[in-house]
Structure 1
Amino acid sequence: MRILVTGASGFIGGRFARFALEQGLDVRVNGRRADAVAHLVKRGAQFIPGDLGNAEVARRVCQGVDIVVHCAGAVGTWGHYQDFHQGNVVLTENIVEGCLKEHVRRLVHLSSAALYGDGPGLLDVREAPLPRRFHDHYAATRQVAEQKVFGAGEFGLEVLVLRPSPVVGAGDTRLFPAWIERQRQGRLAIVGNGLNKVDFTSVHNLNGALLSALFVDAQALGQAYNIGNGQPVPLWDAINYVMRRLQLPQATRYRAPGPAYARAVLAEAACLAWPGQPEPRSTRAAVKRDCRDFTLDIGRARQHLDYRPKTCLWSALDEFCAWWQAST
């Protein structure tokens, strides 16, 4: 069985491609940077370069594969809508079209738990229903991309969608690095009372879920699955654990959510008015993330994917810290 992993030059796609190679699978990869997938090529992966925003490239990378694991996409909470639309919707449309035209059997689509919105507190969230409106371009375009994937199921393509909570492990360049940078700048503060619980996903657990999605039978198809560690922890305990491991000062200052949110609104307004619209130092999405509860119900994945998270958050954070120290 040959699989294609898109987005293999990124964190999640690269980690899964390596994991799949270690399981003895025949792996083809596509990514934005050849240097970032060189370690996969050395391990036996076939690399086909090209921009998946081009429909012909997307079709070419799908030729001769049985299953596509689509990890490529635009991430973040700030930027122009057209960039998120191109990175999430157009790329997914092209991959879906490539799968159908090249008779790929199955498409496993990596989405995000960000689809569940930015409410004040979300506990044990199930896969449905989704919010009627989305307040950021990332979630809105991810939801449209999912619709494209599920629509392809009506034409005979086997489809599954995975929605992981924030993913942690060696190679993470966005989540914990952002908190680390804010602490180094003296700007990190606990928003709220610091007791809000969140669910993370170890990249090892996500790899296991993606691998299971390659082989599950027909009854598991056509659905979305929450993926998480299944053991929510206080967010600020996790952040301060990383600070201790990296020998950085822990976050001890507290900031009320209201004033923090107001500052973020002003920062966003200023950046929207600035030429080029640079990313603000604080965003509304980041403030909400830092002070709200957010946990997932992973029962469906346990039942249909036989998903059993084995790596705890603290092991995942240890792995991240060792990688961060070695690479900085």
Structure 2
Amino acid sequence: MNSRVLITGASGFIGYHLIEAAQKEGLEVHAAVRRSSNVNHLKKFNPVFVYPELSDKEALKQLLKEGNYSYIIHAAGATRAKNTQAYNIINADYTRLLAEAALEADIPLKRFLFMSSLAALGPLSYAEEQPITENTLPLPITSYGKSKLLAEKMLEELTDLPLTTIRPTAVYGPREKDLFILFKTLNQGLDAYIGKEPQRLSFVYVKDLAEVTVAALLKDQNERQAYNISDGFAYDRYALADSFKEASGKKPRRIHLPVGVLKLAANIMELGATFSSVAPVVNREKVKELTAPNWFCSIEAAKRDLQYQPNYNLNKGIAETWQWYKANDWI
């Protein structure tokens, strides 16, 4: 029997690619999804679907015991929430409950891999000469980043947990829906930026992220380690649009919006969402994240320990993503 892996957040953008990468390595995938989730796109993988209640540790213990999992990838989480409390509950408290359940369920657990985020460390100043490393002092600037850092700290307290943490930078690729908004805007002829201050950005193609995640999962190791993951390059603020132009042959008009205008729009969106159950696409924290000067991170630890060699730079990844969006009628 192949070793079993439980992948939470399996119906999401990254989850899809994690399933694909895990099956390529011969793992039997159990896809943890909500009963309300659309899983039609996952049926070609034919995973075993399970329906955990992440807020109920006893129910989680029973599910884990029945699955007898050797590996867990916890990729479920909220990238958009109404407030700090909601972020903390979903991204931190549920993570802790799953990890505690894994320790108490009497399963042959070899590795618990937590999908965190570079946002847990936060950006640097533009003048900083060294990239973000695994040892950079964490100074997250958003509630999302703070909730991921809180989850990391909670997991660190579970000293018996065979833990690995992955911190991807901005992830893009087929099926992604947030950066896809930029694709749509560019495709409609507008190349818009917030302010004119220089930025140093980093990206990772989702297939590279999925492959290095599974490599970290299967690595035989006793020590705990966190890995920052990007494609290894630092990009200026125009690089993504330039890659889009090269891939699409289009020439959208470049404009710069005053930071104050977007802050005002974010305030209005937040106010409008006060009585809604849906978090706004843009809020004040998102503006801080989008205008942060330096998200460049080192991937030397992943190269050393996991033999990570990204297959995609931004030009190659954007070209493949553009073709997928077109082929699947997203654009």
TM over 0.5: yes
- Alignment partner, residue 265 of structure 2: 267
Change (3 A) 1:263 1:118: farther
How far has the Cα of 1:308 moved from its partner?
A: 1.7
- Alignment partner, residue 56 of structure 2: 54
- Alignment partner, residue 322 of structure 2: 321
The answer on 1:146 being equivalent to 2:152 is: yes
Q: After superposition, what is the alpha-carbon deviation per residue over 1:6-48, rounded to whole angstroms, capped at 9, x for unaligned?
A: 1000011121112211332111110235664344344231111
- Alignment partner, residue 178 of structure 1: 181
Q: Give the letter aligned to residue 110 of structure 1.
A: M
Aligned length: 318
Q: After superposition, what is the alpha-carbon deviation per residue over 1:47-106, rounded to whole angstroms, capped at 9, x for unaligned?
A: 112432332443244221011011000013x63222212220122022112211123232
How far has the Cα of 1:248 moved from its partner?
A: 5.5
C-alpha separation in 1, matches of 2:245 and 2:86: 33
Change (3 A) 1:137 1:288: closer
C-alpha separation in 2, matches of 1:54 and 1:318: 43
Where 1:13 maps in the other structure, the secondary structure is helix
Q: Give the letter aligned to residue 74 of structure 1.
A: A
Aligned equivalent of 2:211, options 197, 202, 208:
208
Aligned equivalent of 1:168, options 156, 160, 172:
172
- Alignment partner, residue 289 of structure 1: 290
Where 1:69 maps in the other structure, the secondary structure is strand
- Alignment partner, residue 308 of structure 1: 309
- Alignment partner, residue 158 of structure 1: 162
* 1:126–1:296 contact (8 Å) kept in structure 2: yes
Aligned equivalent of 2:135, options 122, 128, 133:
128
C-alpha separation in 2, matches of 1:80 and 1:234: 31
Q: Give the letter aligned to residue 22 of structure 1.
A: K
C-alpha separation in 2, matches of 1:235 and 1:142: 25
Alignment RMSD (CA, Å): 2.7
- Alignment partner, residue 6 of structure 2: 4
Q: 1:73-112, aligned counterparts within 5 Å?
A: 73-76=77-80, 79-102=82-105, 103=107, 104-112=109-117
The answer on 1:189 being equivalent to 2:196 is: no
How far has the Cα of 1:114 moved from its partner?
A: 0.8
Higher helix fraction: Structure 1 or Structure 2?
1
Q: Give the letter aligned to residue 226 of structure 1.
A: N
Q: TM-score, normalised by structure 1?
A: 0.85
What runs of 5+ residues in structure 1 fail to find an aligned partner?
A: none
- Alignment partner, residue 75 of structure 2: 71
C-alpha separation in 2, matches of 1:251 and 1:86: 41
- Alignment partner, residue 31 of structure 2: 29
How far has the Cα of 1:234 moved from its partner?
A: 2.5
C-alpha separation in 1, matches of 2:288 and 2:142: 14
* 1:191–1:287 contact (8 Å) kept in structure 2: no
Q: TM-score, normalised by structure 2?
A: 0.85
